Structure 1
Amino acid sequence: MDEARLKRARRRSVAQTAGAIGVVLLLVGALMFVLTSRQESRALNSELGQVLVMAEDVDDPPPGQFLARQTSGADRVEVTSSASPELVRVLDGALRRGPGRFDTDAGDDRPVRVVVAHRPDGSRWAVAADLAPLRERQDQLGIALLVAELAGLAGALVAAALLARRAVAPLATALTLQRRFVADASHELRAPLTVLHTRAQVLARRARTQPAEQLSDQLDQLVADTRTLGEVVEDLLVSAAAEHQPPPDTVVDLVEVTHDVVASMSAYAREREIELRVEATGAALVRGARTALRRALTALVDNAIGHVAVGGHVTVTVQRRDARIAAEVTDDGVGLDLAEADRLFARFAHGTDGTGRRFGLGLALVQQVAQAHRGSLEVSGAPGRGATFTLLLPAY
């Protein structure tokens, strides 16, 4: 639905932009045509006026023009010998008019412009010019402007499409991020809320039969669960922001983060009767966002727990490898087929043999965090032999 609305908005934007540019081009073209035509018409009028002033007889007018003269007191009209009978008639009629100019037809759809002038000696002069060259130039100008406008309109459509795509792109990105965040939030919060609700139910039942002082540990666990839920929300915001901005350049001890993750996931592992252990000593310093790294390790541990049977083991190992820090999450569960490893990096994907409930965004989040921290995610394993996911980050 959102995609359809965005497409309609983009098409509407393209149509409106192209229409506006097309109207502007049409107005500019029409204005150029009118101004150019008027300028050529004025130039012809000026030329004809000069001919009437300079002419001494009707025998040698400029090409395409014809002269007529009627001296004072004479009835006979002299006309350029090459003039057609219809043009002679037009010029004879023009001499009977007062000074001025007009356009008329000299037969055979032959438009002419006639200018009439009276000289001080009482003679009357008229000159007729063939308008076909002027009309031809105007037609050529109109065609040229039309082609230019069509080309401009095509360019306007392309430009409008690019501008519309660029204008709508942030909205499309925002809608995509919104949908992704809602999906991430529902996926992330489902399991912590279930755990929190279950613990609250157990605590409520025990509160009816046990003294209050014996419930302090369970109340502390309930508070810890609510704190974990708040951290999940914070991690969601961090992971969403990590897609469009680099992580903060702070020094993070990956060993410390690993111990925090194992501590927070231990209750979940015990519930599934899975041994969760950590093998990490000293310090393993990297640069990046602590919350994002914690979320990535949590996703790896959760993925391992979800693919281990009752009585299985999950081990988290942090060690230095040359100039990188490696955080390995190894399990002895159902394993995986390396042929489907690429598919596992899709958002919310899980192995075909996994049975556990997921807390994290899946391996897609881990890969995203690794890339944001200039690191990588490696996977190894075989069906029935467990799997190992290794988060490699540049050492500080």
Structure 2
Amino acid sequence: MKGQAEDELQRSSWRLALQTGALLVLLLVAIAGSVLLIVSTSQATAAQRLLTTATEHVDSIVDAPAGTWLAISNQGVLTVSPGMPSGLPDLKAIDAVAANGVAAQEDVSIAGRPYTVRTADSGGRVVQAVFDRHENLEELNRLGVALLLTCGGAVVLASLLAVWLARRTMRPMAEALDRQRRFVADASHELRTPLTLLSMRAQMLRRRVASSRLQEPPANIEADVDAMIEDSRSLTRLLEDLLISADSRRVELTDVDVVALADDVVQSFSVSAAHRGVTIERTGIAGALAITAAPTALRRLFVALLDNAVRFARGRVDVGVTTDSRTLVITVRDDGPGFADDVKPRAFERFATARPADAEPEAGAAPRHYGLGLALVAEAAAQHGGRVEIGTQPSGAVIVVHLPIRRNPGNSPAAGSFFRALVSRLRRMF
């Protein structure tokens, strides 16, 4: 998966990660706020319990709980715990409680340090307890920082994990959409050629039928009708091939006579080539040559090669089918404008276009389409474990396809079935 589809997958993955991160932030903020509220409430409850116990049940300043100071007023005598913060005890509060017997409590700040002061009447005595809230606030701050760091790390980790999971989850869907786009593009490209052939044959047949009203009907009308029928069959085969290419399952390979297939495709292009003033000649091996391949994909390869060559040839196209050791070599040459140097590295990319190599800048020549046709050739070659390249010649264009020849022993169907069954059995055993 390349290009636009990969970019869309990446953008969608990051978008999903950001949304996941935002939701996680809200969730963690709610959790952290709840934790801080619970801890703060617990601290306040514990502090209140400590102050109540100190003012109601402690008899001496030496029994003051940790973190508190006591001031006890008994019959006008005031005793204060050592280390009482400056400015305390609150004598006004002690006098007020002594006068009315109503307990009082307030929060005060001395030198920037927070305290809670509770004053109560305890059996004829007035006891004032001072609680230092600094440690509680420091604990809340430490807890807040820990929650912030933990939640921040969790958000970052979860976002990265969401990107990874999103790519793994969305990649099959993105690849399915990419296959759908490729299928539509392939259908639009490949259906054009046989439809053009059918249209051209129909026009020629109409002209000949019109001329037959004035003179004796030509003898080749029947041949033209047969050619139209064959083009219709080619169109049907292409439709079947497109359906197969849209299937994600593995393509079954069979024995294909590549020479007969090449001759058939050359014959189907002969009329359209002649109409353009182009001659197609098939060279190389003349006898049968069976290889193991996908018939429809191999036909697509020949059709795309010839369609590209005929459209841009000036007068001649050569289709060569030869072998090199255990490799099938398909060479298609044309005497057209050829490939520009800057186009060759991307000639087999989808939708790649460029001006013909010998076109002048001011000539306004239409761009030569190297995209879908040659991209289909590259895909078909790769499907069979082969490769495609642009060859060299003084003028024009030459495209060379190398395909491995995986012939069954003796080219015998029975022998092929035997070996396929043997391989299948060995796979099941191991």
Q: Which moved more, 1:147-156 or 1:360-369?
A: 147-156
Correspondence for 1:146: 148
Specify the code of the residue in structure 2 equivalent to 1:27.
A
Correspondence for 1:207: 209
Q: What number of residue pairs does the alignment pair up?
A: 386
- 1:100 and 1:394 map into 2 onto residues whose CA distance is 103
2:272 to 254, 268, 290: 268
Q: Does 1:295 align with 2:306?
A: no
Describe the superposition over 1:318-353 as per-residue Cα deviations: whole angstroms up to 9, x where unpaired.
43x44x331322436358569553332233558636
Correspondence for 1:284: 290
- 2:267 and 2:101 map into 1 onto residues whose CA distance is 112
Query: Is the Cα–Cα contact under 8 Å of residues 300 and 389 in structure 1 kept in the other structure?
Result: no
1:317 to 316, 321, 329: 321
Query: Is the Cα–Cα contact under 8 Å of residues 105 and 112 in structure 1 kept in the other structure?
Result: yes
Query: Is the Cα–Cα contact under 8 Å of residues 344 and 390 in structure 2 kept in the other structure?
Result: yes
- 1:131 and 1:338 map into 2 onto residues whose CA distance is 82
- 1:395 and 1:37 map into 2 onto residues whose CA distance is 78
Q: Does 1:36 align with 2:39?
A: yes
Describe the superposition over 1:72-102 as per-residue Cα deviations: whole angstroms up to 9, x where unpaired.
xx34443325434433337626855879784
- 2:174 and 2:291 map into 1 onto residues whose CA distance is 38
Query: Is the Cα–Cα contact under 8 Å of residues 196 and 222 in structure 1 kept in the other structure?
Result: yes
- 2:38 and 2:126 map into 1 onto residues whose CA distance is 32
Describe the superposition over 1:153-200 as per-residue Cα deviations: whole angstroms up to 9, x where unpaired.
445555555566666656655565555444433333333323222222
1:192 to 183, 186, 194: 194
- 1:359 and 1:280 map into 2 onto residues whose CA distance is 30
Q: CA deviation at 1:104?
A: 1.7
Correspondence for 1:392: 403
Q: Which moved more, 1:215-224 or 1:27-36?
A: 215-224
- 1:130 and 1:362 map into 2 onto residues whose CA distance is 83
Specify the code of the residue in structure 2 equivalent to 1:226.
S
- 2:148 and 2:304 map into 1 onto residues whose CA distance is 63
Correspondence for 1:89: 91
Correspondence for 2:380: 369
Q: CA deviation at 1:130?
A: 1.0
Question: What secondary structure does 2:401 align onto?
Answer: strand
Question: What secondary structure does 1:68 align onto?
Answer: strand
The Cα RMSD (Å) is: 4.3
Correspondence for 2:258: 254
Correspondence for 2:394: 383
Query: Is the Cα–Cα contact under 8 Å of residues 384 and 403 in structure 2 kept in the other structure?
Result: no
Q: CA deviation at 1:150?
A: 4.1
Correspondence for 2:232: 226
Unaligned runs of 5+ residues in structure 1 are none
Q: Which moved more, 1:375-384 or 1:229-238?
A: 229-238
Q: Which moved more, 1:364-373 or 1:377-386?
A: 377-386
Unaligned runs of 5+ residues in structure 2 are 360-365, 408-430
Q: CA deviation at 1:293?
A: 1.3
Correspondence for 1:17: 20
| Distance change (3 Å), C-alpha of 1:94 and 1:395 | farther
- 1:81 and 1:343 map into 2 onto residues whose CA distance is 88
Query: Is the Cα–Cα contact under 8 Å of residues 370 and 393 in structure 1 kept in the other structure?
Result: no
2:347 to 320, 331, 344: 344
After superposition, residues 349-364 of structure 1 pair within 5 angstroms as: 349=353, 352=357, 361-364=372-375
Q: Which moved more, 1:188-197 or 1:38-47?
A: 38-47
Query: Is the Cα–Cα contact under 8 Å of residues 302 and 358 in structure 1 kept in the other structure?
Result: no
Scaled by the length of structure 1, what TM-score is found?
A: 0.76
* More contact order relative to length (CA 8 Å, sep ≥ 6): 1
Query: Is the Cα–Cα contact under 8 Å of residues 278 and 313 in structure 2 kept in the other structure?
Result: no
Correspondence for 2:223: 217
Correspondence for 1:79: 80
Query: Is the Cα–Cα contact under 8 Å of residues 299 and 359 in structure 1 kept in the other structure?
Result: no
2:60 to 57, 61, 67: 57
Query: Is the Cα–Cα contact under 8 Å of residues 106 and 116 in structure 2 kept in the other structure?
Result: yes
Query: Is the Cα–Cα contact under 8 Å of residues 48 and 115 in structure 1 kept in the other structure?
Result: yes
Query: Is the Cα–Cα contact under 8 Å of residues 115 and 133 in structure 2 kept in the other structure?
Result: yes
Q: CA deviation at 1:7?
A: 9.2
Query: Is the Cα–Cα contact under 8 Å of residues 110 and 132 in structure 1 kept in the other structure?
Result: yes
